């Protein structure tokens, strides 16, 4: 069975750095072989022509960037308006980092431990000015919006972006927690029995342990789905337990989850992704406006276009529909995964055998099996040979440890963003 080859384009600039229309990758390699162009970057592929094109010969067909925002994945697509069918130039998925909150907790623990040993000065209070400034975005959300901006700026460096269209994310948190669409007046009325969630839980459960039935005991408001497992801080996720039952359940929440949810007629909600998309969108839009003209669309319009033209649902295909430039010649364009790279490195060895941390490599085994991934660690073994080895992670997220450099081939050295 012959599979259809996916289309792939290379970005083109002339000798003066003027942004030209992208060309198919095969044509880009042909220009390089004929010494008519030179390779600037391979991932994404960028070539520079050895001549300068006059402005009148530059293709001015508009190029639109579509962004399908999300909490874990963000779809982006570049589509160019053409005379017959529009052309998809680039599509990719930004794999957003999810470890920022955990790393901040670790840093907080180290900081508190260090400061607890500074006995020569008094404890300070209310000295977190940066945390209270107006318009502040939490770091776990801010880095996600910055990752999108980094990708857009990188693309805009090599290709002309005439317009950016982003889907307006409007998630009704109240409808998610209630399980139905409330009336307008219900939004102004609190859905709690009291402003204090703990007290509201006790009042709903009639100040009675819902496990053993005690009502003359010290009570606790227990999270059915723990906060560490992305459980919501909602009355639909809280149940009243006495101290003894709470101690019994703690650490074994999964065993009692279904039972407790049935007792309070609650539901398992993960509101974190919705909140991460909703927060910071004003900041993202204001920054995108500085790059190109910005337009806002809605999810209903995107879904209708996807259905009308028979396009499957995915982050990248939704981004194509968001541009509004349908129909296109083909959506079978090679999809790229983009991973934002942290600026801080913890590697102790900067370079080993010509390889660096985060290099994209290919490892070939003796039987011809090939693994592609990126280096996560460089180290020298503590043996009599002082063997030089590396750890790398494949693109399927499997980790390989202690591999030598003999069968390693460097594919690309990413700069701030890893295009896979």
| Pair 120, 349: CB distance under 8 Å | no
What is residue 98's predicted lDDT score, i.e. its pLDDT? 86
* pLDDT for position 89: 92
Give the pLDDT confidence of 107-117 residue by residue, as tens digits: 888 888 887 77
3-state secondary structure of 223: strand
String of DSSP letters for 332-359: -BPEEEEEE--S----S-SEETTEETT-
**Domain 63-97+145-169+278-340 part of CATH 3.30.420.10:** yes
Q: Is the pLDDT at 1 greater than 60, yes or no? A: no
Per-residue pLDDT tens over the stretch 233-258: 777 888 899 998 998 888 888 888 88
Is the pLDDT score of 93 beyond 90? Answer: yes
- Tens digit of pLDDT for each residue in 333-371? 889 889 888 777 777 888 888 898 888 889 888 888 888
pLDDT at 80 over 60: yes
Mean pLDDT of 282-304: 90
> pLDDT digit string (tens) for 367-409?
888 888 888 888 888 887 888 888 888 887 788 888 888 888 8
pLDDT for the residue 178: 61
The larger pLDDT score, comparing residue 239 to residue 416, is at: 239
The pLDDT tens digits for 309-337 are 888 888 899 999 999 888 888 888 889 88
More confident residue, 67 or 350: 67
Higher pLDDT, 280 or 187: 280
Domains of the chain, by residue range, sit at 9-57, 63-97+145-169+278-340, 185-264, 351-419
Tell me what pLDDT residue 162 has: 93
Region 351-419: CATH code: 2.30.30.60
The pLDDT score that the predictor gives to residue 186 is: 66
Q: What are phi and psi of 72, to 5 degrees?
A: -110, -40
- What is the rounded distance in angstroms from the CA atom of residue 66 to the CA atom of residue 151? 12
DSSP code of residue 130: G
pLDDT at 27: 93
Helix ranges restricted to H, 250-280 = 253-264, 272-278
Tell which residue, 402, 382, 324, has the closest CA to residue 165.
Answer: 324
Least confident window among 187-201, 209-223, 393-407: 187-201
Percent above pLDDT 90 for the chain: 22
* Helix/strand/coil for 374: strand
Give the model confidence (pLDDT) of 154-168 as tens digits: 999 999 999 999 988
Q: What was the pLDDT predicted at 2?
A: 36
Q: What is the per-residue pLDDT for 289?
A: 94
Burial grade of 225 (CB within 10 A; 0-12, 13-18, 19 or more): buried
Q: Do residues 245 and 239 touch, judged by C-beta distance below 8 A? A: no
With 70 as the cut, is the pLDDT of residue 173 above it?
no
């Amino acid at each position: 069975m012959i599979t259809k080859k996916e289309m792939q384009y290379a970005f083109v600039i002339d000798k003066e750095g003027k942004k030209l229309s992208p060309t198919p990758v095969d044509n880009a390699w042909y220009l390089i072989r004929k010494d008519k162009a030179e390779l600037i970057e391979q991932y994404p592929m960028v070539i520079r022509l050895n001549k300068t094109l006059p402005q009148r010969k530059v293709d001015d067909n508009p190029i639109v960037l579509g962004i399908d925002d999300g909490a874990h994945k963000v779809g982006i697509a570049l589509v160019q308006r053409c005379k017959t069918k529009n052309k998809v130039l680039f599509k990719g998925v930004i794999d957003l980092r999810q470890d920022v909150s955990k790393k901040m907790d670790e840093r907080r623990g180290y900081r508190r431990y260090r400061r607890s040993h500074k006995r020569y000065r008094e404890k300070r209070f209310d000295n977190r000015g940066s945390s209270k400034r107006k318009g502040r975005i939490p770091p776990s959300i801010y880095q996600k919006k910055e990752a999108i901006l980094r990708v857009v700026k990188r693309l805009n460096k090599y290709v002309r972006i005439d317009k950016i269209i982003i889907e307006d994310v409007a998630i009704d948190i109240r409808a998610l927690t209630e399980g139905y669409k409330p009336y307008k007046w219900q939004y102004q009325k609190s859905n709690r029995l009291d402003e204090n969630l703990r007290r509201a839980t006790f009042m709903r459960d009639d100040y009675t342990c819902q496990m053993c039935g005690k009502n003359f005991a010290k009570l606790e408001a227990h999270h059915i789905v723990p906060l560490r497992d992305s459980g919501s801080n909602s009355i639909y996720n809280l149940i009243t337990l006495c101290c003894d039952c709470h101690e019994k359940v703690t650490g074994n929440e999964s065993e009692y989850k279904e039972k407790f949810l049935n007792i309070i007629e609650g539901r398992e909600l993960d509101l974190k992704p919705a909140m991460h998309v909703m927060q910071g969108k004003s900041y993202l839009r204001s920054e995108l406006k500085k790059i190109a003209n910005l337009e806002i669309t809605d999810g209903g319009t995107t879904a209708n276009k996807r259905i009308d033209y028979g396009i499957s649902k995915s982050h990248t295909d939704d981004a194509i529909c968001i541009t509004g430039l349908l129909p296109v010649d083909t959506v079978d364009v090679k999809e790229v995964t983009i991973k934002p790279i942290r600026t801080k490195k913890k590697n102790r060895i900067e370079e080993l055998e010509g390889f660096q941390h985060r290099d994209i490599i290919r490892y070939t085994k003796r039987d011809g099996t090939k693994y592609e991934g990126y280096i996560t660690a460089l180290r020298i073994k503590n043996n009599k040979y002082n063997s030089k080895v590396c750890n790398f992670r494949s693109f399927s997220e499997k980790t390989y440890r202690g591999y030598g450099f003999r069968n390693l081939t460097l594919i690309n050295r990413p700069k701030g963003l890893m295009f896979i």
